[in-house]
């Protein structure tokens, strides 16, 4: 028996990998019919009853057999991962016993990284009904690090209607349909003050109109997660008042002392020439004059060097791999260089087992790391959420 189906970053592969991840549970239902049809057409002899045969153990789809982060065997709760990126929410949730039953991420390069680490291709554009139709019922937590778009009519007291045309509307629509026990959202700090507070007010009001109690807090990774990165984000946690009576038991994590420093995240043995700045750089004199300490991370700000006075890494951004603005820079014994993609993951708190596929460019790796979340902080909030919802189980 030979596998003819190529696991790629498209919705057919998403259907099949979601089915294989969930085939032993009721969460397989949305994927089952289409997955079996695809498998029959592309992979199997027509006479084989694939419903009764274990697919992966028979050597099919070997890329799904030994991923770094498999789902827990006996999950305590379930969740979905929207705007999944490279799965920072997923690692955090799985670490405390959760099983992901649906993921969505439109970026094909991020999908490749997601597949390499979790054995699952996320579905694509969540704004499409064809993508939403595969979301299972009865999952416990909705997770989403949704992009912040301007709400063109925010602040006109129209609640749910105010969010139309934004990606948050799609999150709200899924919440309205599926009624999960809890919702966990993460976004940039500026979401709270955007449009004089109207954007956040619209989001909060929409969630409350859907029957959820809303908690929110801005937290910095260097203050709350022992990660040496100056990264402030707003965290929004919601509980379904009809399903979670003890929602007032929820509290955000407390601050903790920053013990780690940048040296815990930097690999000084990395001698990749592409990372180092040499004489050919137009502003090398300014760079050498400004980057003078090995105990902090600098940024090149187009025309000058900016030092992080807190001796931590500045906020990682999605554009840091493209040169120019906001590039994180360090001084080593071998010269001045920018952070590697792996080091950027370290500053996001990703475990060492996390891998980037070999078939994506460094620019995509930087983008994925910069767009991601600080895993230990996400995990701390997740633990607080699940401690509440599991009391109702």
Rg (CA), the chain: 22
Tell me how far CA of residue 144 lies from CA of 17, 89, 221, 303, in angstroms.
21, 8, 18, 36
Q: From the candidates 100, 143, 148, 238, give the one annotated as an active-site residue.
A: 148
Residue 140: left if φ>0, alpha if ψ -120 to 50, beta else—which one? alpha
Paired residues of 234 in beta bridges: 187, 218
Tell me the CA end-to-end span of the chain in Å, nearest whole number: 43
Residue 331 has φ and ψ, to the nearest 5°, of -105, 130
Sequence-distant (≥ 6) Cβ neighbours of residue 159 within 8 angstroms = 202, 205, 206, 209
3-state secondary structure of 21: helix
The β-bridge partners of 187 are 234
Identify whether 143 is a catalytic site residue.
no
Biggest CA pair distance of the chain: 72
**Would you give the distance in Å from CA 251 to the centre of its chain?**
22
Q: Which residues are catalytic?
A: 148
């Amino acid at each position: 028996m030979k596998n003819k189906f190529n696991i790629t970053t498209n919705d057919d592969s998403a259907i099949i990998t979601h089915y294989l991840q969930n085939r032993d549970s009721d969460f397989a239902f949305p994927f089952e019919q289409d997955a079996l049809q695809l498998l029959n057409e592309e992979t199997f002899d027509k006479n084989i009853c694939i419903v009764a045969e274990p697919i992966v153990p028979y050597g099919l789809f070997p890329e799904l057999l030994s991923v770094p982060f498999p789902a827990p065997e006996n999950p305590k709760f379930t969740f979905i991962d929207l705007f999944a990126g490279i799965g920072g929410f997923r690692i955090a949730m799985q670490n405390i016993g959760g099983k992901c039953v649906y993921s969505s991420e439109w970026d094909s390069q991020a999908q490749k990284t997601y597949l390499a680490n979790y054995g699952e291709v996320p579905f694509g554009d969540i704004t499409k009904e064809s993508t939403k139709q595969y979301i299972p019922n009865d999952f416990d937590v909705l997770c989403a690090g949704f992009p912040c778009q301007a709400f063109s009519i925010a602040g006109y007291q129209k609640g749910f209607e105010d969010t139309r045309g934004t990606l948050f509307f799609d999150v709200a629509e899924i919440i309205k349909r599926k009624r999960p026990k809890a919702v966990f959202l993460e976004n940039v700090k500026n979401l709270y003050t955007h449009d004089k507070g109207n954007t956040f007010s619209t989001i909060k009001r929409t969630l409350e109109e859907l029957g959820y109690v809303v908690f929110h807090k801005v937290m910095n990774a260097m203050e709350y997660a022992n990660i040496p990165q100056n990264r402030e984000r707003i965290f929004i946690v919601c509980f379904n008042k009809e399903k979670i009576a003890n929602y007032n038991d929820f509290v955000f994590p407390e601050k903790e002392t920053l013990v780690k420093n940048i040296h815990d995240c930097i690999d000084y043995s990395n001698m990749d020439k592409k990372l180092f700045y040499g004489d050919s750089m137009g502003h090398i004199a300014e760079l050498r004059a400004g980057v003078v300490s090995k105990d902090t991370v600098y940024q090149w700000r187009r025309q000058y060097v900016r030092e992080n006075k807190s001796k931590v890494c500045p906020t990682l951004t999605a554009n840091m791999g493209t040169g120019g603005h906001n590039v994180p820079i360090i001084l080593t014994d071998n010269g001045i260089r920018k952070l590697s993609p792996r080091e950027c993951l370290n500053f996001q708190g990703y475990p060492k087992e996390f891998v980037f596929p070999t078939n994506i460019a460094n620019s995509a790796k930087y983008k994925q790391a910069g767009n991601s979340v600080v895993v230990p902080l996400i995990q701390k909030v997740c633990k607080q959420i699940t401690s509440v919802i599991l009391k109702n189980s």
